[in-house]
Every structure is written in structure tokens, then in C-alpha cells.
Structure 1
Amino acid sequence: MGIVLKIRCFAILLVFLGFLIRHRSSAEKVLFVPPPVGNSHWMNQAKIGLALVDKGHIVSVVVSGDIVEKRRAEWPDFQFEAFHDQGTQARLKEIQAQAVSAAGELSLFKTAEVFSMSQVIKEYCTLLLGDSNLVDRLRTSRYSVVISDPIFPCGAILSAYLDIRVPHITVWRLDSFAIDVKATGVPLPLSYVPHILTDFTDDMTFVQRLQNVVLSISVQIISRMLARIMYDELVRTYVGEEESIETVTSRTDLWLYRTDNVLDFPRPSMPNIVQVGGLNVQVVNPLTEDIEAFVQNSVDDGVIVVSFGAMGKTMSKERREVFASAFARLRQKVVWRYVGEKPTGLGNNTKLLAWLPQNDLLAHPKTRAFITHAGSNGLYEALHHGVPMVCLPLFSDQPANAARVVARGLGVRLDFSTVTAEQLYLSILHVVTINSYQETAARLSRLHRDQPQSPMERAVWWIEHVIKHGRLPHLRARAVELPWYQYYLLDVAVFLLAVCSAVLGTVWYSCSFFCRKFCCKSGGKLKSQ
């Protein structure tokens, strides 16, 4: 019996060791290069990173030395590669805070303040690329893929600088430099594809189409010019003299686009563009005892969830009193993500939290509506759980997101800076009491969930596909390599115009020649008679 038991234990040990070896051999090294600002962008990358860790891969992240210890404490599953950023990240956070505090009332001057962030981001990128110790460590690690965000083009530059053969993937929602249109080769008919910085839908009036054309063309020209001015020199220094930020970005093998046609408007795409809208939605966890007790205390009236993201930290006194007053009139309980001085008009039905489990609350059966600034992460959580919305967009893509919510019948939109307590109260009441919003939210939630893979599973599958097969040139459109005059067939148009002109000219000349000959002969005969 003892020998048999030993044999069994030995066999089990061999199986276990074999599993570990096989699991370890499938582990690949993945490098994330997140933007230095924009916490929502980092959170999406971090969630993908956790999913890759669960699949046995090793995830490393490039961060500033000022925050590396904080990141290690928050994300112990990741490895971090730090560099000295000389305080640029701290300066960026200050500029971001100023931009957020100005949201809803952006004048041209304040918009210029937002654009001043670009120069500091360039400085951050210069320090990152110029850190030879960091680059040597990254090259030694021999990563299988680099994942970045196009709002921080430095990720594409770093990927090419480390090894041009290493695949590059981007996770994106909005490219602030408008390089993606050229880099993906996707045609965007402006007749029904609204610019992401407008609040237009895919059903535009003549005036809206005119505005869409003017805005889209002008933004692309200005943004690309800004990108070239800021990054082309870095690309030439670290990648090659013949390279530019556009050529480097166009080598991206896979574009994980955080959209879903259930919420977003259909538009042309390419094989290397994969929709993963909603990948931020996580498994629902039970609420804490105090929050659960507060929610259950709402009985049949239900709960309203309120979150304005980072704006909640900088809300003016006048605005917070407007919101508090409107919430106090509701029969529902209100859970409000809020940081700052307690509003004087706060009702007994409202619970303030510096942080709230947004996904878990939206999944709760007693949740009746979501009041939001229309950030894409919150919108997809609400869509997934079938919760109608009251949107108060602030800046960037938020007005466009709110327009999609309204167009799909998921909710209503208000102006954050001018809404009154009465208007807010009536709008919430409207969304909560009109059955069509609840029914539409439930129907679109079923459509969004009815997929062969979850958005996160799809993202991980494609990342592993790139790791397994390397670069995917067969999925890239030839359009990314064509000069603009070839892409728009201007050379063909000129040739055809020349041919048509030559043919028409020949016909005209021939007709004129025969007419002159005929007329001259006829005239001579008449004179002789």
C-alpha cells in the first residue's frame, strides 16, 4: 500500500509540474505605455492587463518614478519600469485639474490652457525616450507586444524604437491628434459619420453636415500639424530620418476601439479594428453593508446613482447647491459620488461618497437611473446593466456620447453649466417615470450582452493572436502607405480629365476642320454660279 501511495503521489506531482511548465511556457511579456494623464485611459489598460495576467502573461508598465510606488501598491500583479520625469507628471495633473474645473464654460482662453498640456506631454515623452537605462532594460526584457493609447503617441514611438519587429496595439476611444484616420486607412463619409467632438447624430441636417465637414477637415489639418511639430523630431531622432509620427503610428497592428454599435453609430472599419466597447464592465460584487442597507431602505422607489467623474472634486458651490436641491425633492434614494464641502441643501435621501462602486450599484435591481457626465466607461456600464441616463456632458467626447444616449432613447441631455434645480428634477422624474426609457435600456442591454465573447474576452483573444503570430500585415489596408493624391485618386482624375480633354479637343478640332472645308467649298461654288 505504501508503494502504491508513493507512486500515486509521484504521478500527481508530475502532472502538476507539467501543468506549471506548460502554463509558464505560454507566458509572454506584455508592455503597457499608458498616458501620463487621464485616469480612465489607464484604468482600461489596467483591466486588460489584469485579464492578461489571469491568462498567465507577464505585464509590465512604464510609469513616472514619482508614482511608481503608488502604482505598485495599487496593482501588485504588474511589474513597473520607472524613469525620472523631472516633475512633468505633477505639472500635467495641475493643468488637468484646471481644465476640469473650467469644464462646462470653456472659453477660447481656457481651451488654450487645455492645449498647453500637449507641450508638457511632449516633454514627458522626451524624458521617457531619452532615459537610456530604461530603454536598455526594456530591450533586454524582449517584450512580445507593446500596448499604448493614441492620445499619447509616445507609445508608438517607443515601440518602434525598441524593436521595429515587435507588434504594437492601441486601445482607443478618441485620438486627439486625428492621426488614426490616416493610420488606419478607414474612409469616413462625413455625410453620416459625425465628428467625435460634435453632438451630432448620424442623421444630420444640411447645416449640421456643413458644420461637420468644416470641423472635421479643420481639426484634422490643425491636429496633424500639431502632432508633426511635436513628435516628428523625436521620431527622426529615435526611429529614423525617413520616419514621421504618421508612419510610425500607421504600423500599428491592431486597434482595439472602445465602441459598440448598440450605442455608437455604425461607420466603416478595417479588419485590424476590433470593437471592444464595454470591456471596462467587471464582474458584479456585493455592496458593502452600509450601502446595501441604504439601497434597501428605498423600498419600491429605488435609487438614483450620481457620478461626474473627476469633475466631482472641483464642482462650484453654486452648481452643487443646484444638484443637492434637485436630489432632495426626489422620492428615490440618491447615492452621489462627491468630494468637498457638504451642500447646505442636501436632503436626507442623499448619501455622499468620496468613491462609489459604480458598476455594482448600476447592476443593483433597485437602481432606477444614472446621472452622469457621459464618460464612455460609465455609459457602457449603464448600457450593460440596462439603466437609463440623465447626461450632463462637460468636454471632449462627452457631448457626442450624450448625443448617442439621446438618439438611442436611453435618456436625456442637460447643460451642466446652466441647468436649474427645477429642470434637473423634472428631467430625472421624466426618465424614471416614463416606461419607454426603462424598456429601451433593457432591450439595448440584451443586445449588447448577446455576443459570442465578452468585450474583454475579445480584446484578450486578439492580443494573444498578435502575440502568437507576430505582426499582422495582411489585416492592414494598403491605404496607410498611399500618398494623399493616390488615396483620393487625384492622379487618376487628372489623367482621365486629360484624356477627356484630349478626346473632346480632337473631336472639336476635327469638326471645325471639316466645317471650314465644307463651308469653303460651298461658298466657292455659290460665287462661281
Structure 2
Amino acid sequence: MEVASRHVLLCVIVSLTAHGIGAEKVLVVPPAISGSHWFPLASVGQALAGRGHEVTVVVSQDIVAKRRTERPQLRFESFLDQGSSARLEAKTGQLSELSNKSMLYIAQRLQGSLKDKALHCDLLLGDGDLIERLKQARFQVVITEPFISQCGAIVAAHLGVPHVALLRHDPTGLDYQATGVPRPPSYVPSTMSSFTDRMTFLQRAQNFVVSCVAPVVFQWFVENMHYDQLRKYIGEEETLVGVLAKTDVWLYQMDPLLDLPRPSMPNMVNVGGILAREAGPLSEDLELFMQSSGSAGVVVVSFGSQAKTLNPERAEVMAAAFAQLRQKVVWRYVGEKPAGLGNNTKLMAWLPQNDLLGHPKTRAFVTHAGSNGVYEALYHGVPMVCTPLGADQPGNAARAVSRGLGVRLDFNTFTTETLYQAIMQVLTDKSYQETAALLSRLHRDQPQSPMERAVWWVEHVIKHGGLPHLRARAVELPWYQYYLLDVAVFLLGVCSAVLGTVWYSCSFVCRKVCCKSGSKLKSQ
């Protein structure tokens, strides 16, 4: 036992000294909503804790006990958030209900969510005892997820600590402004659209309008949400873009295989598939169920943590389609058991999605096309039937389909027959299996796993106390200098002066010639 303990200690020391740093203090500030937004942050924090770092997470008081049970390797600080995070959880848990609502209804829900996010941030920053404890801890880096709310970035700036952002995307577009990276709408689709990099003229026109208008609208809401916090905790003249521009590294949960090539800066690092890993063993009863499928295999069905309940009518349609399959079905489902549920279908309130997708019996994945699930399916080479509900899911589904990873259905209109046919298509058409296997090999063929790369960059920031040399000068330029409008005006003036001089000179010469010719004619 003593020898084993020494061996483990030696491994930890070697792994830490390989990057030239010791055990350091890391602060994680997750967004008010959890689920798919919490898992990547928690996993990175756990990976850092596994390398000997002291990782502290700030969460609301009502979930701190749950988080401590889930992640015993992490430390937790808590504050009273007056139920704001619970209200946000309830709203995001009803995501499937928004898919057929009007834009006005969705806008009202968004406004209510922003109020809860603002309150959550106000209460976090306004907890003097908490902030004092965080200051006294002297953290070396703060890791956040800047999804619409930028509370974590404000906390990092208030503490004066280097900041690392881990995100899928930011619909506000503030990340692009803060990094100065161009985003040409001619081939970079908006994150809220279902376009790919091969757009028709009308799609490019629509993408241009959405790429220009949506960030302005979102930014107006977000900047107003954080206006008082910036002035109270950072400075009277500070802006949200200015705070975000100090971010040392942006870790994007993206991979060009699915999210398409696009411009980036040196401090923008792709870590798409950060949660995907080799499949672990299943529980005994679940393994028996998988093995009972025989050669037909299993279809995994999950609509993620943000859609805990489904419309009963939609659930009946899905249950009837699954009942027709030869395959066994594992379905993450919370709610009343559908009347038409087949004997081949197993309902689970929670399922080990990554481990199921990596199981040799899994043949297909029916999903809402959330980014975590899509990347786990890519990693394990499982074709998909995508039925997106909202947010970035239509775009994820469109790009997965464009790569040949599966098919897409409209969640509100598919029938039992169309869902059944879609599942059978990805099960029987070998091209989907072959494409999924090929893309899986490409995705896995990296010098570092996405998680290893994320941890390396966080430790790189810790080691050097920040990476300001990676930030582009573009952020500091006024808009007219960024777009070279001053140069364009200068060159236009020079060209105008030259052309004016030439025109005047030619006119002057012509007049002189004409005058001499006229004098000669008169003398004759």
C-alpha cells in the first residue's frame, strides 16, 4: 500500500512539473443555468483538480450540497441567489415547448430570463463576504462560460485575475468584438441559423442580415443588463467589450469537422468534443439490456438536460415509432409513461450518454442535436436522427447532415411513420455508418485530446500570469481605423487631388492651344 501511494504521488508530481507549475488555485464561475452549460466547466475543473490544483466553484446556496455530492474533488463557495437560478432552470427545462411559439412569446421569455441572470449576478457580486473570501484566496486564473451573461468575466476583472472563457458560442457576438476576429457572412453562418458554408444567394443575404442585426439586439440587452455592475465593480468608463477583451484564452467547444473552418486569433483554441471519451462500463441491468438486443443493436434516444419533459402528444408519436423497430431502444424520458410504449423500449430518467454511444451494440442516436451529444456521437462514430428544438441546435443538425452524419426532422411535424423511416434510413443505409466511422477517425486523430488541450492552455495562463501577447491589436482600434476608413478617405482625397490637377492642367493646355489657333485664323 505504501509503495502504491508513493507511485501515485510521483505520477502527480511528474504530471505537474511537465508544464513547469505546481498546485495552483483555480476559480470557476459557471453561468446561472446548469445542464449542458455546467458539465464542460465541471469536467475541466475536475481534470485540473486531478492534476493537483485547488479548484473552487461559485454556485448558489440551494444547489451547493448537490454539487458537492456530484463533484467531491472540487471546493465550493456559495451565495444566496433568491431563487434566480431555479427559475432559469425551470424555463430552460421547458425548451421543447418554445419550438412552436411566436417570436413575441419567445422575446418575453428571453427578457424574463435576462432579468433573472442580472439578479443572479447582482447577488453574487453584492455578497461582500464572498467576494472578500475570493480576494483573500488569491486565485491564479478564473474560468467562466460567457453565454449571454458575462458575469464571470466581470468577476475576473473585479478580482484582477487572468480570465479563460470556455464556451460553445456567444449569440451576442461580443466574443468576436473582444477578439477582433473577422466573421465574413459570405461563408461563416450565424450560430442561430441552420446554414452551412455553402449558401445560396438568398441564404447569404439572410445570413448577412441576421449576422448584423442579431448581435446588435443581443448586445443591447446584455450591455443594459450589466451596465450598473460594470460601473460599480470595474469602473465608470469601462465597457463590456473592454472587459472581455482582457480574456487571455477563448476555449471554443468547436471542431472544423462539424463547425466548419472560420477565421480565428492565436488566443482562440478549438476544444470541440471536450466531454467525449472512451466508453466506460455500464450498470449490470443496463448491460444486460444492451446485450439482449442481439445483432439488431440498440437505438439511443436523448433530448438532453435542457428538455427534461416532452409534450405528451409528441411523446406518444415517438413511442409508437420506437415500438416498430427491431432494435432495442434506450430513451431518456421524464414524465408519464406513454400509452403506446413498446416492450423493446427502456425509459430512464438519466442515462450515461457517452458510455451508451460508445457501446458496440449502439446503432443510431435520436437527438435534439445539442452540441455535447453531437460531439459524443461524432467521437464514437454513431449516425444520428436530429430533431432540433431551438438555440444552436438547428445549426448543429444542419452541419451534421451536411457532413453525412445523419438526417433531420422537424420536431413539431414529424409523424410516427416519418420518424420510423428516418431511423431505418440511418440504420440500413451503409453510407451513414461509413461516414460516421471516417469522421470519428479524423476527429480522434489529434496530438492532444480536447480536454488535454484545454487543461494545457489553462496551465499555460497560470504559468505566465496571463497571455496579453496573444491578443490582437484590432480590439484597441477605433472602428474607422479597423475598417481603414481613414485610409480610404485619405486615398480618395489624394486620387481626387491628382485627377483634379490632371484635369485642370489638361483644360489649361487645351485653352492655350485653342487661343493660339484662334489668333492665327484671325490674322490670316
User: Under a length normalisation based on structure 2, what TM-score does the superposition of the two structures give?
Assistant: 0.95
Equivalent-residue separation in structure 1 for 2:445 and 2:318 (angstroms): 36
Is 1:383 aligned with 2:378? yes
The Cα shift of 1:336 comes to: 0.5
| Matched-pair contact (CA < 8 Å) for 1:174–1:196 | yes
Equivalent-residue separation in structure 1 for 2:474 and 2:368 (angstroms): 37
| Partner residue, 2:298 | 303
Is 1:142 aligned with 2:155? no
**Please, which moves more after superposition, 382-391 or 63-72?**
63-72
| Partner residue, 1:322 | 317
| Matched-pair contact (CA < 8 Å) for 1:312–1:338 | no
Q: 1:185 to 1:352 in 2, by over 3 A?
A: same
Equivalent-residue separation in structure 2 for 1:249 and 1:484 (angstroms): 17
Percent of aligned positions that are identical:
61
| Partner residue, 1:498 | 493
| Partner residue, 1:4 | none
The Cα shift of 1:311 comes to: 5.6
Equivalent-residue separation in structure 2 for 1:103 and 1:478 (angstroms): 41
**Please, which moves more after superposition, 266-275 or 508-517?**
508-517
Equivalent-residue separation in structure 1 for 2:175 and 2:228 (angstroms): 19
Q: 2:64 aligns with which of 53, 68, 71?
A: 68
Q: 1:193 to 1:294 in 2, by over 3 A?
A: same
| Partner residue, 2:259 | 264
The Cα shift of 1:188 comes to: 1.3
| Partner residue, 1:420 | 415
Deviations along 1:142-181, one digit per CA (max 9) or x if unpaired, are 0000000111301111101011xx2100001121321011
Is 1:49 aligned with 2:45? yes
Equivalent-residue separation in structure 2 for 1:475 and 1:339 (angstroms): 46
Is 1:88 aligned with 2:99? no
| Partner residue, 1:451 | 446
1:352-431 correspondence runs (5 A): 352-431=347-426
| Partner residue, 2:472 | 477
Is 1:156 aligned with 2:131? no
Q: The residue matched to 2:272 in structure 1 has which SS?
A: coil
Equivalent-residue separation in structure 1 for 2:344 and 2:283 (angstroms): 18
Equivalent-residue separation in structure 2 for 1:390 and 1:179 (angstroms): 32
Equivalent-residue separation in structure 2 for 1:197 and 1:464 (angstroms): 32
| Matched-pair contact (CA < 8 Å) for 2:92–2:307 | no
The Cα shift of 1:106 comes to: 3.1
Q: 1:270 to 1:348 in 2, by over 3 A?
A: same
The Cα shift of 1:520 comes to: 2.4
Q: The residue matched to 2:62 in structure 1 has which SS?
A: coil
Q: 1:104 to 1:250 in 2, by over 3 A?
A: same
Could you tell me which runs of 5 or more consecutive residues in structure 1 were left unpaired when the two chains were aligned: 1-8
Amino acid at match of 1:134: L
Equivalent-residue separation in structure 2 for 1:12 and 1:334 (angstroms): 43
Amino acid at match of 2:312: K
Equivalent-residue separation in structure 2 for 1:223 and 1:105 (angstroms): 21
Amino acid at match of 1:212: N
The Cα shift of 1:103 comes to: 3.0
Deviations along 1:279-333, one digit per CA (max 9) or x if unpaired, are 1113422111211111111111110000011465321121011101111111111
The Cα shift of 1:454 comes to: 0.7
Deviations along 1:342-389, one digit per CA (max 9) or x if unpaired, are 111111111111111111111111111000000000011101101000
| Partner residue, 1:339 | 334
| Matched-pair contact (CA < 8 Å) for 1:177–1:226 | no
Equivalent-residue separation in structure 2 for 1:12 and 1:96 (angstroms): 46
Equivalent-residue separation in structure 2 for 1:436 and 1:482 (angstroms): 49
The Cα shift of 1:18 comes to: 9.0
Deviations along 1:254-298, one digit per CA (max 9) or x if unpaired, are 000101112220111111111111111134221112111111111
Q: The residue matched to 2:136 in structure 1 has which SS?
A: helix
Q: 2:203 aligns with which of 189, 205, 208?
A: 208
Q: 1:280 to 1:17 in 2, by over 3 A?
A: closer
Equivalent-residue separation in structure 1 for 2:10 and 2:397 (angstroms): 52
Q: 1:133 to 1:426 in 2, by over 3 A?
A: same
Q: The residue matched to 1:405 in structure 2 has which SS?
A: helix
Deviations along 1:115-149, one digit per CA (max 9) or x if unpaired, are 22112211211111111111110000000000001
The Cα shift of 1:13 comes to: 11
Is 1:242 aligned with 2:237? yes
The Cα shift of 1:337 comes to: 0.5
**Please, which moves more after superposition, 373-382 or 469-478?**
469-478
Q: 1:14 to 1:173 in 2, by over 3 A?
A: closer
Equivalent-residue separation in structure 1 for 2:227 and 2:486 (angstroms): 27
Amino acid at match of 1:119: K
Deviations along 1:92-122, one digit per CA (max 9) or x if unpaired, are 2233334x14232131122113322112211
| Matched-pair contact (CA < 8 Å) for 2:273–2:375 | yes
Equivalent-residue separation in structure 2 for 1:306 and 1:13 (angstroms): 42
| Partner residue, 1:119 | 115
Equivalent-residue separation in structure 2 for 1:505 and 1:231 (angstroms): 52
**Please, which moves more after superposition, 200-209 or 280-289?**
280-289
| Partner residue, 1:103 | 98
| Partner residue, 2:24 | 28
Q: 1:150 to 1:20 in 2, by over 3 A?
A: closer
Equivalent-residue separation in structure 1 for 2:383 and 2:136 (angstroms): 50
The Cα shift of 1:16 comes to: 9.8
| Partner residue, 2:250 | 255
Equivalent-residue separation in structure 1 for 2:471 and 2:490 (angstroms): 28
Amino acid at match of 2:237: E
Q: 2:191 aligns with which of 192, 196, 202?
A: 196
Amino acid at match of 2:153: A
Amino acid at match of 1:496: L
Deviations along 1:414-458, one digit per CA (max 9) or x if unpaired, are 000111111110111011000000001111111111111111011
The Cα shift of 1:60 comes to: 0.3
| Partner residue, 1:465 | 460
| Matched-pair contact (CA < 8 Å) for 1:336–1:351 | yes
Amino acid at match of 1:266: P
Is 1:437 aligned with 2:432? yes
Equivalent-residue separation in structure 1 for 2:6 and 2:396 (angstroms): 54
Q: The residue matched to 1:313 in structure 2 has which SS?
A: coil
Q: The residue matched to 1:412 in structure 2 has which SS?
A: strand
Amino acid at match of 1:157: I
1:255-294 correspondence runs (5 A): 255-294=250-289
